[in-house]
Homo-oligomer: A and B are copies of this chain.
Amino acid sequence: MEHRPDPLHESPTYLLFEMVRLVRRTATRMYPGQLRLPHLLVLSCVAQLGPLSQREVAERLRMDPGDLVGIVDALEEAGHLERRRDPDDRRRYALEATEDGRLFLGRSLDDRTRLNETLFEPLAPGEIRLFKELMLRVLAHHDERFTVPDGPGQPPAPAAGRPAGRGSHASR
């Protein structure tokens, strides 16, 4: 039992890989059959930001518009959202969450919260906050969706490189 000197254990991306495996294993054990994060993300996005076209959803979530079709199909069929047409621009859909969808979303987010509590049990609340903040800093550096507008948080002043521009590479 001595594989400590494994250089991969020093790699944050390897540890991220293992973290995601752990999340998946735990999720399927706690909520078998449930939990499809992309579906949840789409529903959450639509529920929060009123009527949206599929293209807007795809952009906000950085999802492939093609993949969105099946997800919206499933959510519509389950009665969680409605696909109407935008009366002003009949090319686009106007997606809106149903009351049922909002209830489902609430339950799903509660499940998610319990999952997080189980997984991060060994960390203190402050450590969890710190963990999230570190991830948000990394994400913001590469993906403008995560840049904080400014305001209540804390001015991200990591003295070191602050390229000022948003994501140096907006992938695609």
Contacts and interface: CB of A to CB of B under 8 A. Distances in A.
Interface of A: 1-23, 25-27, 29, 37, 40-41, 44-45, 48-49, 60, 62, 109, 112-113, 115-116, 119-124, 127-128, 130-132, 134-149, 158-161, 167, 169-172
A113 B17 CA distance: 15
Nearest to A162: B122
Given A13-B23, A172-B14, A158 B29 contact: no
Contacts of A124: 158-160
A112 B9 CA distance: 12
Contacts of A116: 11-13
A82 B37 CA distance: 40
- How many identical subunits does the complex contain? 2
Given A18-B135, A26-B171, 11 more contacts: A8-B41, A10-B132, A12-B135, A13-B116, A16-B23, A19-B139, A20-B20, A22-B142, A119-B142, A122-B160, A127-B158
Nearest to A159: B124
A170 B139 contact: no
Contacts of A147: 1
A44 B131 contact: no
Given A48-B6, A60-B3, A172-B10, A139 B22 contact: yes
A136 B17 contact: no
Pick the most buried of A6, A13, A145, A169: most chain B CB atoms within 10 A of its CB: A13
